[in-house]
Amino acid sequence: MKKYRIGQIVPSSNVTMETEIPAVFRSRETILPERFTFHSSRMRMKKVTKEELEAMDAMSLKCATELSDAHVDVMGYACLVAIMSMGRGYHCVSEVNLHQETIKNDFPTPIVTSAGALINGLKVLGAKKVAVITPYMRPLTDLVVDYIEHQGFEVVDSIALEIPDNLEVAAQDPMNLLEIYKRLDLTGVDVLVASACVQMPSLEAIDLIQKEVGIPVTSAAVCTTYEMMKKLGIEAKAPIGGELLSGKY
Protein backbone atom coordinates (compact mmCIF):
# COMPACT_ATOMS: atom_id res chain seq x y z
CA MET A 1 0.00 0.00 0.00
CA LYS A 2 1.50 3.30 -1.12
CA LYS A 3 1.08 6.23 1.26
CA TYR A 4 1.27 9.86 0.13
CA ARG A 5 1.51 13.11 2.06
CA ILE A 6 -0.49 15.96 0.52
CA GLY A 7 0.71 19.46 1.47
CA GLN A 8 -1.35 22.61 1.06
CA ILE A 9 -0.39 26.27 1.34
CA VAL A 10 -3.69 27.74 2.52
CA PRO A 11 -5.03 31.24 3.27
CA SER A 12 -5.62 31.50 7.01
CA SER A 13 -9.37 31.99 6.47
CA ASN A 14 -9.74 29.15 3.94
CA VAL A 15 -11.76 26.25 5.33
CA THR A 16 -12.74 24.59 2.04
CA MET A 17 -9.56 23.21 0.49
CA GLU A 18 -8.96 21.04 3.54
CA THR A 19 -12.40 19.47 2.96
CA GLU A 20 -12.86 19.29 -0.83
CA ILE A 21 -9.41 18.03 -1.81
CA PRO A 22 -9.40 15.30 0.88
CA ALA A 23 -12.94 14.33 -0.19
CA VAL A 24 -11.75 13.51 -3.71
CA PHE A 25 -8.70 11.62 -2.48
CA ARG A 26 -10.82 9.73 0.08
CA SER A 27 -13.18 8.62 -2.68
CA ARG A 28 -10.16 7.11 -4.40
CA GLU A 29 -9.25 5.21 -1.24
CA THR A 30 -12.58 3.35 -1.39
CA ILE A 31 -11.61 1.55 -4.60
CA LEU A 32 -7.81 1.74 -4.86
CA PRO A 33 -5.01 0.84 -2.43
CA GLU A 34 -3.30 4.24 -2.08
CA ARG A 35 -3.67 6.14 1.18
CA PHE A 36 -3.29 9.88 1.77
CA THR A 37 -2.63 12.23 4.68
CA PHE A 38 -3.09 16.00 4.53
CA HIS A 39 -0.88 18.73 5.93
CA SER A 40 -1.27 22.51 5.76
CA SER A 41 0.65 25.71 6.35
CA ARG A 42 -1.26 28.99 6.46
CA MET A 43 -0.85 32.55 5.12
CA ARG A 44 -2.78 35.41 6.76
CA MET A 45 -5.76 36.67 4.77
CA LYS A 46 -9.31 37.63 5.80
CA LYS A 47 -10.69 39.94 3.11
CA VAL A 48 -10.43 39.07 -0.58
CA THR A 49 -8.88 42.33 -1.76
CA LYS A 50 -5.92 42.85 -4.06
CA GLU A 51 -3.91 44.39 -1.22
CA GLU A 52 -4.48 41.50 1.19
CA LEU A 53 -3.84 38.96 -1.55
CA GLU A 54 -0.48 40.53 -2.43
CA ALA A 55 0.57 40.61 1.24
CA MET A 56 -0.53 36.99 1.64
CA ASP A 57 1.37 35.79 -1.41
CA ALA A 58 4.60 37.10 0.09
CA MET A 59 4.15 34.55 2.91
CA SER A 60 3.91 31.56 0.58
CA LEU A 61 7.67 30.88 0.47
CA LYS A 62 7.81 30.43 4.26
CA CYS A 63 4.88 28.02 4.01
CA ALA A 64 6.67 26.00 1.33
CA THR A 65 9.67 25.62 3.59
CA GLU A 66 7.49 24.51 6.50
CA LEU A 67 5.70 21.88 4.42
CA SER A 68 8.95 20.57 3.01
CA ASP A 69 10.04 20.01 6.62
CA ALA A 70 7.22 17.45 6.72
CA HIS A 71 8.51 15.78 3.53
CA VAL A 72 5.19 16.06 1.71
CA ASP A 73 5.03 14.31 -1.67
CA VAL A 74 3.27 17.16 -3.44
CA MET A 75 2.47 20.73 -2.46
CA GLY A 76 -0.51 22.83 -3.55
CA TYR A 77 -0.86 26.61 -3.35
CA ALA A 78 -4.55 26.86 -2.51
CA CYS A 79 -5.59 30.34 -3.60
CA LEU A 80 -6.40 30.93 -7.26
CA VAL A 81 -7.14 34.64 -7.14
CA ALA A 82 -3.97 35.47 -5.18
CA ILE A 83 -1.93 34.12 -8.09
CA MET A 84 -4.08 35.58 -10.85
CA SER A 85 -4.18 39.03 -9.24
CA MET A 86 -0.36 39.18 -9.35
CA GLY A 87 -0.27 39.45 -13.14
CA ARG A 88 -0.60 37.35 -16.27
CA GLY A 89 1.22 34.04 -16.17
CA TYR A 90 2.27 34.46 -12.55
CA HIS A 91 1.47 30.84 -11.70
CA CYS A 92 4.62 29.84 -13.59
CA VAL A 93 6.72 32.25 -11.52
CA SER A 94 5.12 31.15 -8.26
CA GLU A 95 5.61 27.44 -8.98
CA VAL A 96 9.31 27.96 -9.72
CA ASN A 97 9.83 30.12 -6.62
CA LEU A 98 8.07 27.64 -4.33
CA HIS A 99 9.98 24.71 -5.78
CA GLN A 100 13.26 26.54 -5.23
CA GLU A 101 12.37 26.94 -1.55
CA THR A 102 11.95 23.17 -1.23
CA ILE A 103 15.26 22.60 -2.98
CA LYS A 104 16.98 24.99 -0.56
CA ASN A 105 15.40 23.00 2.27
CA ASP A 106 16.91 19.77 0.89
CA PHE A 107 13.59 18.16 -0.03
CA PRO A 108 12.64 19.04 -3.65
CA THR A 109 8.86 18.83 -3.91
CA PRO A 110 6.48 19.00 -6.91
CA ILE A 111 4.40 22.19 -6.80
CA VAL A 112 0.81 22.77 -7.93
CA THR A 113 -0.92 26.15 -7.87
CA SER A 114 -4.70 26.19 -8.12
CA ALA A 115 -4.37 28.89 -10.78
CA GLY A 116 -2.01 26.81 -12.91
CA ALA A 117 -4.09 23.69 -12.25
CA LEU A 118 -7.23 25.36 -13.60
CA ILE A 119 -5.39 26.45 -16.75
CA ASN A 120 -3.94 22.96 -17.25
CA GLY A 121 -7.29 21.36 -16.53
CA LEU A 122 -9.00 23.44 -19.20
CA LYS A 123 -6.32 22.35 -21.67
CA VAL A 124 -6.82 18.68 -20.77
CA LEU A 125 -10.55 19.11 -21.38
CA GLY A 126 -9.87 20.66 -24.79
CA ALA A 127 -11.66 23.86 -23.87
CA LYS A 128 -11.73 26.83 -26.20
CA LYS A 129 -14.72 28.76 -24.85
CA VAL A 130 -15.51 28.73 -21.13
CA ALA A 131 -17.91 30.26 -18.63
CA VAL A 132 -16.87 31.03 -15.07
CA ILE A 133 -18.52 31.56 -11.68
CA THR A 134 -16.55 33.37 -8.98
CA PRO A 135 -17.41 34.70 -5.51
CA TYR A 136 -15.09 37.70 -6.00
CA MET A 137 -15.86 41.36 -6.40
CA ARG A 138 -16.23 42.32 -10.08
CA PRO A 139 -12.76 43.95 -10.41
CA LEU A 140 -11.06 40.76 -9.15
CA THR A 141 -13.32 38.63 -11.34
CA ASP A 142 -12.26 40.73 -14.32
CA LEU A 143 -8.61 40.01 -13.45
CA VAL A 144 -9.40 36.29 -13.36
CA VAL A 145 -11.17 36.51 -16.74
CA ASP A 146 -8.23 38.41 -18.24
CA TYR A 147 -5.77 35.86 -16.83
CA ILE A 148 -7.68 32.93 -18.31
CA GLU A 149 -8.04 34.65 -21.66
CA HIS A 150 -4.33 35.45 -21.72
CA GLN A 151 -3.75 31.70 -21.47
CA GLY A 152 -5.59 31.20 -24.76
CA PHE A 153 -9.24 30.66 -23.81
CA GLU A 154 -12.28 32.78 -24.53
CA VAL A 155 -14.41 33.52 -21.49
CA VAL A 156 -17.88 33.79 -22.98
CA ASP A 157 -19.55 34.84 -19.73
CA SER A 158 -18.75 35.20 -16.03
CA ILE A 159 -20.63 35.70 -12.78
CA ALA A 160 -19.15 37.68 -9.88
CA LEU A 161 -21.06 37.01 -6.66
CA GLU A 162 -19.20 39.96 -5.05
CA ILE A 163 -18.53 38.49 -1.61
CA PRO A 164 -15.48 40.22 -0.05
CA ASP A 165 -15.33 38.28 3.23
CA ASN A 166 -13.48 35.00 2.77
CA LEU A 167 -15.36 33.13 5.50
CA GLU A 168 -18.64 34.20 3.94
CA VAL A 169 -17.38 32.73 0.66
CA ALA A 170 -16.83 29.39 2.40
CA ALA A 171 -20.32 29.55 3.93
CA GLN A 172 -22.04 29.48 0.52
CA ASP A 173 -24.32 26.52 -0.11
CA PRO A 174 -22.82 24.66 -3.10
CA MET A 175 -26.29 23.56 -4.18
CA ASN A 176 -27.13 27.21 -4.92
CA LEU A 177 -24.87 26.84 -7.94
CA LEU A 178 -27.62 24.77 -9.58
CA GLU A 179 -29.58 28.02 -9.95
CA ILE A 180 -26.68 30.47 -10.22
CA TYR A 181 -25.22 28.84 -13.33
CA LYS A 182 -28.50 29.42 -15.18
CA ARG A 183 -27.68 33.13 -15.28
CA LEU A 184 -24.73 32.39 -17.58
CA ASP A 185 -24.81 32.54 -21.36
CA LEU A 186 -23.52 29.08 -22.28
CA THR A 187 -23.83 29.53 -26.04
CA GLY A 188 -20.84 27.77 -27.62
CA VAL A 189 -19.23 27.11 -24.24
CA ASP A 190 -17.04 23.97 -24.04
CA VAL A 191 -16.44 23.89 -20.27
CA LEU A 192 -18.20 25.45 -17.30
CA VAL A 193 -16.05 26.38 -14.29
CA ALA A 194 -18.60 26.13 -11.48
CA SER A 195 -16.21 27.67 -8.97
CA ALA A 196 -13.09 29.54 -10.02
CA CYS A 197 -12.23 29.79 -6.34
CA VAL A 198 -10.90 27.10 -4.02
CA GLN A 199 -12.74 28.65 -1.06
CA MET A 200 -16.24 28.58 -2.60
CA PRO A 201 -17.69 25.07 -2.15
CA SER A 202 -18.95 23.37 -5.30
CA LEU A 203 -18.09 19.68 -5.12
CA GLU A 204 -21.60 18.40 -4.37
CA ALA A 205 -23.09 20.38 -7.26
CA ILE A 206 -20.61 19.77 -10.07
CA ASP A 207 -21.89 16.42 -11.29
CA LEU A 208 -25.52 17.56 -11.06
CA ILE A 209 -24.81 20.66 -13.14
CA GLN A 210 -22.92 18.60 -15.70
CA LYS A 211 -25.92 16.31 -16.13
CA GLU A 212 -28.10 19.35 -16.80
CA VAL A 213 -25.85 21.25 -19.20
CA GLY A 214 -24.29 18.32 -21.07
CA ILE A 215 -20.77 19.79 -21.16
CA PRO A 216 -17.79 19.18 -18.84
CA VAL A 217 -18.11 21.01 -15.51
CA THR A 218 -15.09 21.52 -13.30
CA SER A 219 -13.76 23.75 -10.52
CA ALA A 220 -10.47 25.12 -9.27
CA ALA A 221 -10.47 22.54 -6.46
CA VAL A 222 -11.15 19.61 -8.79
CA CYS A 223 -8.41 20.75 -11.18
CA THR A 224 -6.01 21.17 -8.26
CA THR A 225 -6.70 17.62 -7.07
CA TYR A 226 -6.30 16.26 -10.60
CA GLU A 227 -2.97 18.07 -11.01
CA MET A 228 -1.78 16.74 -7.66
CA MET A 229 -2.57 13.21 -8.79
CA LYS A 230 -0.56 13.77 -11.97
CA LYS A 231 2.40 15.11 -9.99
CA LEU A 232 2.24 12.04 -7.75
CA GLY A 233 2.32 9.82 -10.83
CA ILE A 234 -1.02 8.16 -10.08
CA GLU A 235 -3.73 7.64 -12.68
CA ALA A 236 -6.43 10.28 -13.12
CA LYS A 237 -8.62 10.39 -16.21
CA ALA A 238 -9.91 13.96 -16.38
CA PRO A 239 -10.40 17.04 -14.16
CA ILE A 240 -14.17 16.52 -13.94
CA GLY A 241 -15.71 16.30 -10.48
CA GLY A 242 -18.12 13.47 -11.19
CA GLU A 243 -15.45 11.24 -12.69
CA LEU A 244 -12.90 11.84 -9.95
CA LEU A 245 -15.47 11.33 -7.21
CA SER A 246 -16.96 8.19 -8.74
CA GLY A 247 -13.55 6.60 -9.16
CA LYS A 248 -13.54 6.71 -12.97
CA TYR A 249 -9.84 7.43 -13.00
Q: Residue 151's closest CA among 174, 128, 179, 178?
A: 128
pLDDT confidence of residue 50 = 82
pLDDT confidence of residue 64 = 97
* Side-chain-side CA neighbours of residue 123 (13 Å): 11
Q: What is the mean pLDDT of the chain?
A: 92
pLDDT confidence of residue 194 = 97
Is 8 one of the annotated binding-site residues?
no
Is 166 one of the annotated binding-site residues?
yes
Question: pLDDT per residue over 143-163, tens digit each?
Answer: 999 999 999 999 999 999 999
What DSSP letter does each residue of 157-210 carry, written as one string? EEEE----BHHHHHTS-GGGHHHHGGGS--TT-SEEEEESSSSS--HHHHHHHH
**Domains of the chain, earliest start first:** 3-114+222-244 (3.40.50.12500), 116-220 (3.40.50.12500)
Is 223 one of the annotated binding-site residues?
no
**Residues whose CB falls within 8 Å of the CB of residue 188, separated by 6 or more in sequence, listed in order:** 129, 156
Question: Predicted confidence band at 249 (pLDDT cuts at 50, 70, 90)?
Answer: very low
Is 249 one of the annotated binding-site residues?
no
Residue 101 has pLDDT above 60, yes or no: yes
* Percent over 90 (pLDDT), the chain: 77
236: DSSP letter: -
pLDDT confidence of residue 52 = 86
Q: What is the mean pLDDT of residues 191-209?
A: 94
- 61-70, 87-96, 110-119, 240-249: least confident range: 240-249
Active site residues: 79, 197
